[in-house]
């Protein structure tokens, strides 16, 4: 129960019926805006993939995927996806998408090792998107432009919600602030990663932290990243390493930073080899996905995931993810949430 954040005098602004309507409104409007901003077409996504192909997202490398045998495939093991980070790039090649265009999908996942609290659930739903880019666009300016486009879509969605439900007031700032993870460390050298994120987000309201996965000057990464999708070792335009990052906002309801999106320019052949060596995972070069990338069969791309339930949660001013999605929570957490006015679905 120590993981449960308990906002003082919490009272939901919308009842359960209005909340369900609000969720539908947000999801329909935001995905339309996202697809328009980034020129994305919708594709159907898998819930599971075969084990051993290197397609599933390995997240931080320690999370266990939900695995099951497939009878008609000789009990071959399938894994429920963690995300579609690498699957989408294969899809870009399959559809022969040209530069400047891409795909997005409704991704549903199970992360059995997730630590459950107001913002983390066993069930993950997000808009997973990926777009083809050129070699000339593999730079920080292009990454920032895409971040601004996504943030604009988020703010337009907030405006629509506040127009529909006048009791909800907007809180997102007009612009998003960019900061290198190393610069953030230098600003708050005696703080933990989460404390640094809270401080910078409270100051600016919306922040994109650049460069996640590589070690900082203190010998630790800002956060973990798998070595085979985001590029976190290629120097960006400021000479720092990292062409990826996270979109974070300051959420007054919980008085903390909330991550809405993890995204970045994807590895090319050189960055993949470098990151596999840095993480001691050179054996991945023999996997299906990695062979295709190293063989030049996959396009250069940029992509990421945007949390659907999280976006709905913050735009509808809810205090717990369980007010937005149906999942499983500890019984003591459900009871405590009921006392605090959080109606867990």
- Residues with a known catalytic role: 57, 111, 126, 246, 259, 262
Residue in 105, 110, 108, 113 with CA at minimum distance from that of residue 125 = 108
Nearest Cα to Cα of residue 59 among 99, 111, 104, 125: 111
Cα 53 from chain centre: 22
Q: Where are the alpha helices (DSSP H) in the chain?
A: 16-38, 87-95, 140-164, 181-187, 193-204, 269-278, 288-294, 308-315, 331-340
Other C-beta atoms lying within 10 Å of the C-beta of residue 232: 29
Q: Is 281 helix (H, G, I), strand (E, B) or coil?
A: coil
| Element spanning 261, H or E | strand 256-265
- How many whole angstroms separate alpha carbon 191 and alpha carbon 319? 25
Alpha helices in 6-58 (DSSP H): 16-38
131 forms bridges with which residues in the sheet?
A: 102, 302
- Give φ, ψ of 92 to 5 degrees: -55, -40
Cβ atoms 55, 288 nearer than 8 A: yes
Question: Taken in order 189, 190, 196, 200, is the CA torsion positive or negative?
Answer: negative
């Amino acid at each position: 129960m120590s993981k449960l954040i308990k906002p003082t005098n919490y009272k939901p602004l919308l009842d359960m019926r209005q909340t369900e309507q609000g969720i539908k409104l947000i999801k329909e409007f935001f995905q339309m805006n996202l697809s328009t901003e980034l020129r994305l077409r919708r594709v159907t996504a898998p819930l599971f993939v075969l084990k051993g192909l290197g397609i599933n997202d390995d997240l931080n490398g320690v999370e266990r995927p939900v695995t099951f045998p497939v009878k008609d495939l000789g009990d071959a093991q399938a894994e429920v996806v963690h995300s579609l980070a690498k699957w989408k790039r294969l899809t870009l090649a399959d559809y022969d998408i040209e530069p400047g265009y891409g795909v997005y999908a409704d991704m549903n996942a199970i992360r059995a090792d997730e630590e459950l609290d107001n913002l983390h659930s066993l069930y993950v739903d997000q808009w997973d998107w990926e777009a083809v880019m050129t070699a000339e666009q593999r730079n920080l300016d292009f990454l920032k432009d895409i971040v601004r486009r996504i943030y604009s879509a988020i703010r337009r969605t907030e405006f629509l919600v506040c127009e529909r439900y006048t009791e909800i007031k907007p809180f997102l700032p007009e612009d998003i602030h960019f900061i290198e993870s190393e610069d953030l460390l230098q600003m708050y050298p005696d703080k933990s990663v989460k404390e640094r994120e809270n401080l910078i987000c409270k100051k600016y309201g919306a922040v994109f932290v650049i460069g996640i996965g590589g070690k900082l000057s203190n010998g630790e990464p800002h956060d973990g990243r798998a070595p085979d999708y985001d590029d976190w070792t290629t120097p960006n335009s400021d000479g720092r390493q990292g062409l990826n990052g996270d979109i974070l906002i300051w959420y007054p309801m919980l008085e903390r930073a909330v991550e809405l999106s993890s995204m970045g320019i994807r590895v090319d052949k050189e960055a993949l080899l470098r990151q596999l060596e840095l993480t001691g995972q050179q054996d991945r070069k023999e996997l299906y996905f990695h062979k295709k990338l190293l063989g030049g069969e996959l396009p250069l791309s940029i992509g990421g995931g945007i949390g659907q339930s999280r976006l709905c949660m913050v735009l509808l001013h809810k205090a717990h993810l369980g007010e937005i999605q149906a999942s499983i929570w500890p019984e003591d957490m459900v009871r405590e949430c009921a006392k605090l006015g959080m109606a867990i679905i």
